[in-house]
Amino acid sequence: MRLSKTLVITSAVIGLVASGFYADVQAKPRKLPKTTQKVVKVQIAKTYNDIDKMIDYGNYAAADRLLNNLLKKNPNDISARSLYIISLVKQDKFDVAQSQLNKYLPKFSKNANLHYAQGVLLVKRQASSDMEYREKSEELLKRAQNEFNTALIINPRYYQTYNALGVIELNTGNWNKARQYFGRALEVDPNYATAIDNLGTVDYLQGNHDLAQKRFMKAISLNPNSSTAYFHLAQVYDKKSGYSKALDALDHSLRIKGNSSVAYNLRGEILKKQGNEVAAIESFKKSIALKPENTKPYVNLAKIYERRFDNELAIASLKSALAVNPAQYSVKLKVGELSLLKGDYNESLKYYSSLVGVEGYNADALKGMANAYFAQVRDTASKSVIANKKELQTAYNNIEKALQANPNDLDLYLAKLKMAKLTNKEKATQETLDKIVKAPVRGLNDLLAKGDAYYAMNKYQEAKKTFEKSVVFAESLDDYLYVAEILTYDKFYPSAKDVLRKALIVDPTNEEAVHNLNYIMNMERQSESLYKDAKFFQKKDKNRVFAREYALKALDYNPTNYDAALLSAKLCEKQKHYVEAIDAYKVVAGLEIKPRKIKKMNKKIIKLEKKLAKIDKRYMKKENKEFKKCQDRSTLSL
C-alpha cells in the first residue's frame, strides 16, 4: 500500500469532513462517539487501499471514477489527489500529471505519493519517444532515484517505491541490487504481484528459467490483468522452445495492452522461429509503428531480408536502427558487412572505419576494411580506384598494431596479407602468407583463413584443397552452415555446395541451407548464360572484345566456372591482357582434376609470367629514361 496508515486516516477524515457531512457538524455541533470515528476511519482507509490496488492492477477507469468522486466532494483531498496523479502517470498522461505535480508537490513536500509519482514519471519520460528526454536519460534516472529515496524517508514501508528502485537497478544491469529491492518490497507486502514479476525477471536474466516461470505464473494468479507478467511468461516459453505456449501468453498480454511494441517484436521473433516469415514481418512492422525508437524490430527485419538475399532492404532497416541509436556498434559492423556483400565498397569502408579503435570491434573492423579494399581492387582489376593511398597504409599500420594485441588471430594475418599485397609490400606479403600457411590448425576458422589466404594470392589449387579439408573438418549443422557462409562469400561454390548438402542431410528443411544452395545455383545459371553469350560473340560474331567482356562477367557471377575461365584466359592472352590471362589460367588449373592438364596450365602460367616480367622491365626502362631526361632539363639554367 502506498499510504502510511496515519496518512491515509488523516487525509481521509479531512476529505470526508469537507463534504456534505461537514455542514451537518456545523449545524449540530456535537462530538462523534469514539466507536463511530473508528469505523469511519477504517472504511476510508479501505477505500484508498482498494483504489491503490486498482491502480496497481491496471484498473485505471474504475480507480479514476472513485477518485473523481472523492475530489468533487473535496478538491483538497491530497490523498485522493496523489493517487489520481499516480494513475495519470501509469497511463502515460505525462503532461497532465506533471502539471498537477508542479502545483501540489511544493505545497505537500511531505507527501510520499507525490514523490513516488514524480519518480515514476521521470523513469517513463526517459524511455518515451520524446528525444528531448531520451537524451537526458542518465540525469532523469538520477532525479527519479532521489524522488524515490525521499518517498522512503517519509514512509519506510512504501513497498512500491522499493520496487521502482529495483527496476532502475535492473535496467542498469545491477541484478543483485535489484533483487534486494524487490525482496524489500515483498517483505512489506508478500502478495505484491509487480515485485514478484520483477523478481522473476531477475531469475530469467540469471538463467533460472524454471523459477522465473513459477514467479510469473504466481504474479498472474495475483493480478490476471498484468500484461507484463504474461509477456515475461512468453519469454520463458520462448527460451524453452515452447513457441505455441509463448504465442498464447503474448496474445493474453496484447489483449490487456494492445500497444506494446516489445510484445509485437517478441511475437515476430517467435513466428520467425516457426518459419512463418510473412507473419513475423507484419509483427515487426507493427512493433516499429507503435514505437519507432525501439531498435530491435529493425534488426530483426534486417535478418529476414538478409536471409532472403535482399541486402538493400536489410541495410535500410539497419540504418533506421542506427538513426534511433547511432552507438549500436554491432549494427554498424553488420551494415559494413552487408554493404561489402552488395559491392558498395565505399559505404562498407565508411562503416568499418567508424569502428576502428572501438574496444571489442577494432579487429573485426580492420578485417572488414581489408576485405573491402581488396574486393574493390579485385572487381576493378586496378588499384587506381582507391584515390587515397595513404588510407591503405593507415589500414595496414592499424592491422599491425592489432596483431600485437592478437598475435594468434589468423583472420587478422589474412587482413594483413591482403593489405600488404595492395600496398606492394612483396616481402611482407610472402612472410605473412608463410605465417598463415605454417600456423597450426586449431579449428575451422584457421582452415578457412588458410584457404582464403591462398585464394587471395590466386593460388587456386592450394585454396581448393584447403577449402575441401574445411568441409571434411566440419562436424555439426552449425559448422556446415558457417563453412558454407564463408565459401559462398568467397564464391568458392563447389565446396560450398558440398557442405550445404551435408547440412541438408542433417536437417532436410533447414531454410538457411536451402536459401544458400538456391542462391549458388542461381549464380551458376547466370554465369553459364553469360558464358554462352561469350561463345556466341567469339564464334559467330567474331567479336573477341565482347566475347572477353562476357566471359569475365560470367566469372564475376561464378569464379569457379571452368569453361568461362578457360575461354577468358585464351581471349585475354590473345588480346595481351596478361594479368587477367594469368589469373584465369590459375582458376582453370585449380579446378582441373587431370594431372596432365594441370601441368600444361602451370607451364602456360609460367610462360605468361615471364612475358609479363619482360614487358614490365621494358616499361620501367622507358620510364627511367624519361625521368632522366626530365631531370637533365631541370638542371639547365636560364
Of 73-87, 176-190, 297-311, 459-473, give the range with the top mean pLDDT: 176-190
Average of per-residue pLDDT across 462-485: 87
pLDDT surpassing 60 at residue 539 = yes
CB 411 within 8 A of CB 419: no
Average of per-residue pLDDT across 267-283: 94
Confidence band (pLDDT; 50, 70, 90) for 410? confident
Per the document, the length of the chain is: 638
Return the closest-CA partner of residue 147 out of 202, 98, 186, 188: 98
C-alpha dist (Å) from residue 548 to 561, 562, 605: 14, 15, 18
What residues have CB less than 8 Å from 33, skipping those under 6 apart? Answer: none
pLDDT surpassing 70 at residue 632 = no
Contacts 24+ apart (CB under 8 A), 612-620: 612/578, 612/579, 612/582, 615/578
C-alpha dist (Å) from residue 131 to 92, 118, 127, 465, 611: 16, 19, 9, 55, 65
- Where does 510-623 sit in CATH, by number? 1.25.40.10
Show the CA angle centred on residue 48, arms to residues 47 and 53, nearest 5°: 100
Predicted pLDDT of residue 251: 96
pLDDT tens per residue across span 91-140: 989 899 999 999 999 999 999 999 999 999 999 887 766 666 667 778 88
Dist. CA 234–CA 249, nearest whole Å: 5
Mean pLDDT of the chain: 84
Dist. CA 136–CA 143, nearest whole Å: 11
More confident of the two residues 602 and 182: 182
- 199: number of Cβ within 10 Å: 27
Dist. CA 113–CA 85, nearest whole Å: 9
| Residue in the structure block whose three cell numbers are 596432365 | 596
Return the closest-CA partner of residue 253 out of 220, 231, 279, 282: 231
pLDDT above 70: percentage of residues in the chain: 87
pLDDT tens per residue across span 31-69: 434 444 444 344 555 678 788 888 888 888 999 999 999
Predicted pLDDT of residue 625: 60
The amino acid sitting at 557 is Y
| Residue in the structure block whose three cell numbers are 559491392 | 343
Of 332-341, 446-455, 533-542, give the range with the top mean pLDDT: 332-341
Q: What are phi and psi of 440, to 5 degrees?
A: -65, 145
Confidence band (pLDDT; 50, 70, 90) for 84? very high
Predicted pLDDT of residue 261: 94
Confidence band (pLDDT; 50, 70, 90) for 223? very high
Whole-model pTM: value is 0.71
More confident of the two residues 456 and 186: 186
pLDDT surpassing 50 at residue 637 = no
Show the CA angle centred on residue 500, arms to residues 497 and 505, nearest 5°: 125
pLDDT surpassing 70 at residue 295 = yes
pLDDT surpassing 70 at residue 89 = yes
More confident of the two residues 285 and 549: 285
Predicted pLDDT of residue 354: 94
Question: How many CA atoms, within 13 angstroms, populate the side-chain half-sphere of residue 155?
Answer: 27
> Alpha helices, DSSP H only, in 291-361?
296-307, 311-324, 329-342, 345-353
pLDDT tens per residue across span 369-401: 998 888 877 666 544 545 467 888 888 899 999
CB burial string 32-43: b at 16+ within 10 A, e below: eeeeeeeebbee
Dist. CA 149–CA 161, nearest whole Å: 8
Range of lowest pLDDT (17-26, 186-195, 277-286) = 17-26
Predicted pLDDT of residue 7: 29
Predicted pLDDT of residue 622: 62
Dist. CA 277–CA 262, nearest whole Å: 18
pLDDT surpassing 70 at residue 4 = no
Predicted pLDDT of residue 187: 96
pLDDT surpassing 90 at residue 243 = yes
Dist. CA 13–CA 394, nearest whole Å: 77
Confidence band (pLDDT; 50, 70, 90) for 317? very high
Average of per-residue pLDDT across 220-238: 95
Confidence band (pLDDT; 50, 70, 90) for 621? low
Predicted pLDDT of residue 383: 47
Predicted pLDDT of residue 193: 94
Confidence band (pLDDT; 50, 70, 90) for 23? very low
